[in-house]
Structure 1
Amino acid sequence: MAANREAIIVSAGQQFRKRGFDDVTIADVMKAAGLTHGGFYGYFDSKEALAAAVCERGIAESVAAVDAVAAQTAQDGGPVAEPLLHQFVEDYVSARHRDSPDDGCSVAALAQDAGRNSAELQRIFATGITGMAQSLSRLRALDAQDRAAGAGPDFATLSTMIGALALSRAVAKADPGLSETILDAARAHIESPA
């Protein structure tokens, strides 16, 4: 039972991030999970309940990805070769991430869908976005070797990263050069001294 529920969440997460909530049906999710459509309601009460579970998981994974970069200093015990924020931004604001929304950050892939969804789903996003912004702030503080430097959530950096991915995805097929320019500009903006 737990393995099937997990398969449903993983399948739905990949499909939601790639196609959005509205373009994915319960039948699509169950087929990709290798289960029958009729069995869905044994695991979730509704597609909205599934979306909430997917977003909780995906956003928690996104926060954990930022925190994993910050944890490098604790594990290594010394300075890192390049700033932590730089490491994270280079991976996040990249062509690889742009081209693989199904395996990428749920916040970047589903923020617009969440804006058209229930207050409950928006609460999940609010908690996750705040967590990501706090983690980015910790990266800045570690880079500055000043824990107080990252006191508040870094919503500006998070917004730049997510906006850059959204815009670069919006034009990637029609104008690949513009798509790359958007990613490059966002990375340069984030990493420039304030």
Structure 2
Amino acid sequence: MTANRESIIVSAGQQFRKRGFDDVTISDVMKAAGLTHGGFYGYFGSKDALEAAVCERGVADSVAAVEAVAADGTGDQGADTAPLLQRFVRDYVSAEHRDRPEDGCTVGALARDASRSPVELQHIFASGITGMAESLARLRKLDAPDQEQSSAPDFATLSTMIGALTLARAVADADPVLSERILESARTHIESSASA
């Protein structure tokens, strides 16, 4: 029972991040999970309940991804000596992340869908957005421990990252050069603001 529920959440998360809430049916999710459509209601009361479960997991994973970089900063960084914020932004605001939303950040992939969702789901996103912004502020402090850094959540960097990813995805097929310019511009902007 638990393994099947987990399989549904993972499958739905990938499909929602790639196609959005509205373009994914319960049948799509159950088929991808290798289960029958009729079994869905044994695990979730509604599609809204599944969306909430997926987003709770996804935003927690998004916050954890930033925290993992911060944890690296307090231990062995290996060969990568770039500042922590730059390392995270380099991976987040990338062509790879742009092209594989199903494997990427739930906040970046589903923020637009959340804006049209019930307030309960928006609360989940609010928590995730705040958590990511707090973690980004922590990366800034770790990068410059001798400088006075604000401990306020870094919503500006988060907004730049998600905005760039969204715009780059919006034009990727029509104008790949523009899409890459958007990503590069955001990375450069964040890097310059971090060193200012």
Residue identity matched to 1:67: E
Structure 1 counterpart of 2:66: 66
C-alpha displacement of 1:82: 1.2
* Paired residues of 1:138 and 1:147 also in contact (CA < 8 A): no
Q: How does 1:12-27 map to 2 (within 5 A)?
A: 12-27=12-27
Distance in 2 separating the partners of 1:87 and 1:77: 11
Residue identity matched to 1:154: D
Structure 1 counterpart of 2:34: 34
Q: Secondary structure at the match of 1:187?
A: helix
Q: How does 1:118-157 map to 2 (within 5 A)?
A: 118-146=118-146, 149-157=149-157
Give the 3 Å change call, closer, same or farther, for CA 72–147 of structure 1 in structure 2. farther
C-alpha displacement of 1:109: 0.3
Structure 1 counterpart of 2:102: 102
Structure 2 counterpart of 1:167: 167
Structure 1 counterpart of 2:86: 86
C-alpha displacement of 1:149: 1.3
Distance in 1 separating the partners of 2:140 and 2:175: 33
C-alpha displacement of 1:146: 4.6
Distance in 2 separating the partners of 1:58 and 1:73: 23
Q: Does 1:75 align with 2:75?
A: yes
Distance in 1 separating the partners of 2:11 and 2:77: 38
Distance in 2 separating the partners of 1:102 and 1:77: 28
Q: Secondary structure at the match of 1:75?
A: coil
4+ runs of 1 displaced by more than 4 Å? Answer: none
Distance in 1 separating the partners of 2:3 and 2:105: 23
Deviations along 1:50-71, whole A, 9 cap, x unmatched?
0000001011001000000000
Structure 1 counterpart of 2:55: 55
Residue identity matched to 1:92: Y
Unaligned runs of 5+ in 1: none
Q: Secondary structure at the match of 1:21?
A: coil
What fraction of aligned residue pairs are identical, expressed as a percent? Answer: 74
Aligned pair count reads 193
Deviations along 1:140-172, whole A, 9 cap, x unmatched?
000011586141000000000000000000000
* Paired residues of 1:138 and 1:150 also in contact (CA < 8 A): no
Q: Does 1:189 align with 2:192?
A: no
Give the 3 Å change call, closer, same or farther, for CA 146–47 of structure 1 in structure 2. farther
Distance in 2 separating the partners of 1:38 and 1:138: 45
* Paired residues of 1:137 and 1:152 also in contact (CA < 8 A): yes
C-alpha displacement of 1:75: 2.2
Unaligned runs of 5+ in 2: none
Q: Normalising to structure 1: TM-score of the pair?
A: 0.96
Distance in 2 separating the partners of 1:29 and 1:77: 38
Distance in 2 separating the partners of 1:119 and 1:83: 37
